[in-house]
């Protein structure tokens, strides 16, 4: 097997576009010509890992080989950034924990409909949905047994989902976690932090490609959706399709969180922009 980068052939423009377009076809993620430098080293790693000599061979492998599914997952892991942590972007989570979640809970208590559905639509290694689970436990406290709580967590990569299901994390993942939450919701063992079962049992993981219309249609009745730092991977047409599906997934009045540097300007006019301290959230009218 060749070494990952030393013997890898140079990624020609036409080969880059060929593989780039296949990634787009499979996932909706689009990488412009300016991303070729980023893709070259990552594709070279996959070429080496598969023991292939040319990018043509790699292209035909991921397009036609009967055993390509696992490699496609590994390819998606390479070309996306799975950098995350618990309680990432505090202003957005403060808006969720202090304003939005209490409001939803109070409204449902009034209506005597104690069901809560939240979707972390790009959950990576699980820090986001588990963070949301902690906030739900903090909010509902002793009334939790009266509620049906579902936190759905999905990602494109099956490999990263397997990591999320373990619920094991290092110090870096907990860098934004208060000492109180560390002691209350984690068990420390062998230099790792394990999320407690009371949080884990709230979260259901599944693989969902956001460009998969059939799977997206199966996600309905959500009160809140987090889909942060994902739109950057899509072109305008794919963004519109994904956001339209997320809109349909929300209950009337439901909330959509996207990355703090992302915007729905030019993508959708179906949402109302709601302002919170240092955070903006989209609401289904």
Domain of residue 18, residue span: 13-79
Distance separating alpha carbons of residues 176 and 167, to the nearest angstrom? 17
Residue 44 sits in a domain whose CATH number is 1.10.155.10
Helix (H) or strand (E) holding 180: helix 179-185
Burial (CB < 10 A; 0-12, 13-18, 19+), residue 120, is buried
Full pLDDT tens readout for the chain, 285 residues? 444 444 668 889 999 999 989 988 888 888 888 888 878 888 988 888 898 889 999 999 999 998 888 888 888 878 776 668 999 999 999 999 999 999 999 999 999 999 999 999 999 999 999 999 999 999 999 899 999 999 999 998 888 899 999 999 999 999 999 999 999 999 998 889 999 999 999 999 999 999 999 999 999 999 999 999 888 889 999 999 999 999 999 999 999 999 988 999 999 999 999 999 889 999 998
Domain count, the chain: 2
User: Does 216 lie in the same domain as 168?
Assistant: yes
How many residues in total does the chain contain? 285
Two tokens, residue 275: 């302002």
Smallest CA-to-CA distance from 199 within 156, 161, 223, 165 is with 165
User: Does 133 lie in the same domain as 43?
Assistant: no
User: Does 151 lie in the same domain as 28?
Assistant: no
Residue 125 sits in a domain whose CATH number is 3.40.50.150
Position 224 in a domain: yes
């Amino acid at each position: 097997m060749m070494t990952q980068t030393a013997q890898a052939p140079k990624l020609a423009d036409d080969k880059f576009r060929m593989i780039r377009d296949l990634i787009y076809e499979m996932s909706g993620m689009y990488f412009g010509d300016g991303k070729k430098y980023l893709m070259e080293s990552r594709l070279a790693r996959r070429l080496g890992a598969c023991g292939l000599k040319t990018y043509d061979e790699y292209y035909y492998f991921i397009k036609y080989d009967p055993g390509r599914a696992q490699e496609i997952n590994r390819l998606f892991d390479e070309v996306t950034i799975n950098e995350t942590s618990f309680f990432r972007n505090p202003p957005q989570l403060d808006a969720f924990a202090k304003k939005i979640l209490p409001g939803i809970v109070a409204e449902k208590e009034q209506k005597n409909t104690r069901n809560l559905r939240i979707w972390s639509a790009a959950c990576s290694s699980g820090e986001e949905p588990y963070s949301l689970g902690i906030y739900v436990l903090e909010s509902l406290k002793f009334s939790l047994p009266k509620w049906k709580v579902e936190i759905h967590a999905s990602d494109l990569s099956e490999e990263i989902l397997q990591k999320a299901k373990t619920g094991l994390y290092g110090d870096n993942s907990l860098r934004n976690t208060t000492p109180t939450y560390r002691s209350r919701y984690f068990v420390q063992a062998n230099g790792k932090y394990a999320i407690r079962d009371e949080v884990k049992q709230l979260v259901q993981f599944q693989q969902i490609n956001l460009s998969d219309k059939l799977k997206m249609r199966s996600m309905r009745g959500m009160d809140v959706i987090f889909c942060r730092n994902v739109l950057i991977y899509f072109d305008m047409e794919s963004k519109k399709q994904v956001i339209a599906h997320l809109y349909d997934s929300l209950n009337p009045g439901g909330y959509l969180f996207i990355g703090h540097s992302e915007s729905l300007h030019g993508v959708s006019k179906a949402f109302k922009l709601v302002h919170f301290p240092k955070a903006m959230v989209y609401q289904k009218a």
